[in-house]
Amino acid sequence: MKLSTKGRYAVMAMVDLASTSNGNPVALADIAERQEISLSYLEQLFAKLRRGGLVRSVRGPGGGYLLAHASDQTRISDIILAVDEPIRATRCAPGSPVGCRVNKARCLTHDLWEELGNQIHLYLSSVTLANVVSRRVLGTAGVIDGPEAETAEAIPMVAAQ
Amino acid sequence: MKLSTKGRYAVMAMVDLASTSNGNPVALADIAERQEISLSYLEQLFAKLRRGGLVRSVRGPGGGYLLAHASDQTRISDIILAVDEPIRATRCAPGSPVGCRVNKARCLTHDLWEELGNQIHLYLSSVTLANVVSRRVLGTAGVIDGPEAETAEAIPMVAAQ
DNA sequence: TAAATTCCGACCGCTTTTCTCGGGTATGAC
DNA sequence: GTCATACCCGAGAAAAGCGGTCGGAATTTA
């Protein structure tokens, strides 16, 4: 799970979309103006969000973007994962932790980063767009009954090397 | 709290130091070789760690670095804070959240990032060097009786702008 | 057809991050 | 005192990522 401004922009835009759309498509140009993000950059982000199945698009005049799921079914972690498509966290051999164990202390930290990634993902997947729109993001935001609840694998975080 | 490779290198080096020193100074050159980090880069990191009061240095032959405190009194969060000296999280006006509230959805996300920063800090301050060395970093790593337990303010995270 | 809007790929300047280099300076061993 | 060992320091090169631009193509409504 990588944390960058790109992910934050995506979340900002999705919050905007969730709060201004009432079932109607919202044009990117409108979001761009309100959130002060360049249109072309937003287009890149929404291309990824669309590929990630988080939004649907409607082309032509009157078109725009729609949430693919209800705002209380869209997790913040999904948004960030969609735009930031993260990479490996350690520079151990991808897959087999071979060069990892040779040096004793070298990857003692491995478990640490992995667990930290889990913690971050745990929190961000406990918050939905609806939570943010209604300003309910503090503390344990309450476990949600998500569309599918199996997103708890190993989550890499932050760029490596 | 910013998460970068710099912070990870610092933690790796500190883990190495904690696990190889038995009260004796450890030379940076040794750590550099074991952890495959360039000596000059390590020197920069340890300069910050020293300024942060996490390590002590011994100059001259036979010199090196020592932990300033016991390894179970050194929190991972302190290490990262020392080397990464973080900055503001959002691009709201520093101090007054004025330009923040003008746009409705603009900074709805503000609370979210702040709380995420708190979560990260909470986890990393619950893990000590000793925990990592003994490979005990999973789950709730057990609250420690730190030297001082007042490090729970607003923690900015990740580069802004 | 004309306008609105998403879609797409390439490219670019800037900042930050990561890392290197070339020297200093203290200290212990001999 | 000299010398090797190690910390100390600042300037700057190299690389990467970010935020953005541009020009166009496809699709749909009117």
The model's pTM is: 0.79
Model confidence at A107, pLDDT cuts 50, 70, 90, reads low
**Residue B138 pLDDT exceeds 90:** no
| Strand-strand pairing, B55-58 and A64-67 | unpaired
Nearest residue, CA→C1' of C29? B61
In angstroms, the Cα distances linking B153 to A139, B117, B119, B122 are 15, 10, 12, 11
Distance CA B142, CA B139 (A): 8
Instruction: Name every residue whose Cβ is closer than 8 Å to that of residue A73 and which is 6 or more positions away in sequence.
Output: A128, A144, A146, A147
Q: pLDDT tens-digit profile of B64-112?
A: 999 999 999 999 999 999 998 765 544 444 333 444 544 555 567 888 8
The two structure tokens encoding residue B132: 């990592």
Q: Can you list the positions of beta strands (E) in A19-160?
A: 55-58, 64-67
Measure the CA angle with vertex B80, ends A7 and B48; round to 5°: 130
Q: Which residues touch strand C (CB under 7 A)?
A: A 26-29, 40, 43-44, 46-47, 50, 57-65, 159, 161; B 2, 4-6, 9, 37-38, 40-41, 44, 59-63, 159, 161
Q: Which of A133, A7, A16, A129 is nearest to A27 (CA)?
A: A16
A57/B113: higher pLDDT? A57
Q: Determine the residue type at B81.
A: L
Judge: A113–B8 Cβ closer than 8 Å, yes or no. yes
Distance CA B54, CA B51 (A): 8
In the structure, how far is the CA atom of residue A71 from the C1' atom of nucleotide D18, in angstroms? 28
Architecture, CATH, for domain A5-133: Orthogonal Bundle (1.10)
Q: pLDDT tens-digit profile of A121-157?
A: 899 999 999 999 887 776 554 444 433 333 322 233 3
Nearest residue, CA→C1' of D6? B60
The structure tokens 């032509």 sit at: A60
Cβ(A157)–Cβ(A90) below 8 Å = no
Distance CA B113, CA B118 (A): 9
For residue B67, what is the enclosing H or E element?
A: strand B64-67
Q: pLDDT tens-digit profile of B11-70?
A: 999 999 999 998 999 999 999 988 888 999 999 999 999 999 999 999 999 999 999 999
| Average pLDDT score over residue span A52-56 | 94
The two structure tokens encoding residue B24: 């004796």
Segment among A25-29, A118-122, B69-73, B146-150 with least mean pLDDT: B146-150
List, as one string, the DSSP characters of B129-142.
HHHHHTT--SSS--
Res B99: pLDDT: 45
Nearest residue, CA→C1' of D22? A40
Chain A residues touching residue B106 (CB < 8 angstroms): 12, 34-36
Residue B8: CA count within 13 A, CB half-sphere = 24
Instruction: Name every residue whose Cβ is closer than 8 Å to that of residue A14 and which is 6 or more positions away in sequence.
Output: A49, A54, A55, A67, A74, A79, A129
Chain B residues whose C-beta is within 8 A of a chain A C-beta are: 3-5, 8, 11-12, 15-16, 19-20, 34-36, 76, 90, 103-106, 108-109, 111-113, 115-116, 119-120, 123-124, 127, 132-133, 135, 137-138, 157-161
Contact positions of strand D to protein Cβ (< 7 A): 4-11, 16-23, 26-30
Q: At what angle do helices A108-124 and B5-20 cross, to 10 degrees?
A: 140
Res A67: pLDDT: 96
Q: Which of B14, B4, B6, B2 is nearest to B50 (CA)?
A: B14
Q: Which of B156, B19, B7 is nearest to A89 (CA)?
A: B7
